[in-house]
Amino acid sequence: GAGVSQSPRYKVAKRGQDVALRCDPISGHVSLFWYQQALGQGPEFLTYFQNEAQLDKSGLPSDRFFAERPEGSVSTLKIQRTQQEDSAVYLCASSLTGDSYEQYFGPGTRLTVT
Amino acid sequence: AQTVTQSQPEMSVQEAETVTLSCTYDTSESDYYLFWYKQPPSRQMILVIRQEAYKQQNATENRFSVNFQKAAKSFSLKISDSQLGDAAMYFCAYKMNYGGATNKLIFGTGTLLAVQP
């Protein structure tokens, strides 16, 4: 079956532009996570959804970051007025339930802000 | 707050040899999971092995095994009979086993493993 997919795989944005990153989780997976991975670092948690409810957004670095999952499946991470420090790989992961130990990761979107 | 530390930025191993990657963590919780993830250059993060904190027996998955020392908060990964396909970045990760609002993974900074033919 299909795994987690993300689009686009690469995105170049000029400083100040808005970007939208898409995540398609595994069908039927209740939980969805967004992580940010800076170059040479481990992923860092951004936000967590259970179905359409955003239960934790404590990792979002500023109010320029916004995530949604309106129908409990596809999720979009939006970054407004991008800054150079937003350059990173954005990883999406899904799990079957909220208590599942395993998260399945997508290939990520590499965002470069010039 | 929970933290995960990987003190080896890079490691190298000869093909068919054994290598051990180190990880320490800090938590005040007693019930949690620990994981090793592999991230090849393609970036797709793959779960290698997991350990439940309440289990004393070390987890094993084929050539991969862990040495879990709960009191010392240490969780190392041993790769036996290393293969060229094992070359990747390896991340140690922690997750609380708690039915609360978040089930996020907390990652270390990673160890880049090179396998020499």
Listed by start position, the domains of chain B span: 3-112
**Per-residue pLDDT for B100 more than 70?**
no
Q: Which residues in chain A touch residue B110, judged by CB atoms under 8 angstroms apart?
A: 40-42
pLDDT attached to residue B7: 96
pLDDT attached to residue B41: 85
**Per-residue pLDDT for B97 more than 90?**
no
- Average pLDDT of the residues in A58-86: 96
Q: Taking CA atoms, what residue in B is nearest to A102?
A: B47
- Average pLDDT of the residues in A8-16: 97
Q: How many residues does chain A have?
A: 114
**Per-residue pLDDT for B42 more than 90?**
no
Q: Which residues in chain B touch residue A98, judged by CB atoms under 8 angstroms apart?
A: 99, 103
pLDDT attached to residue A101: 77
pLDDT attached to residue B43: 75
Give the separation between CA A67 and CA A55, rounded to whole angstroms: 11
Q: What is the mean pLDDT of chain A?
A: 94
Q: What type of residue is A12?
A: V
| CATH at A80 | 2.60.40.10
Q: Which residues in chain B touch residue A60, judged by CB atoms under 8 angstroms apart?
A: none
Contact B105 A43 (CB under 8 A): yes
**Structural domain count of chain A:** 1
Contact A45 B50 (CB under 8 A): no
**Per-residue pLDDT for A99 more than 80?**
no
Give the separation between CA B34 and CA B100, rounded to whole angstroms: 18
Spell out where A25-95 has E strands: 31-37, 44-50, 53-56, 65-68, 75-79, 88-95
Q: Taking CA atoms, what residue in B is nearest to A109?
A: B43
Nearest C-alpha neighbor of B21 from the set B69, B100, B98, B89: B89
For residue A80, what are the domain limits? 5-113
- Average pLDDT of the residues in A56-81: 96
Which architecture does CATH list for B3-112?
Sandwich (2.60)
How confident is the model over B64-92, as pLDDT tens digits? 999 999 999 999 999 999 999 999 999 99
Nearest C-alpha neighbor of B48 from the set B27, B17, B12, B23: B23
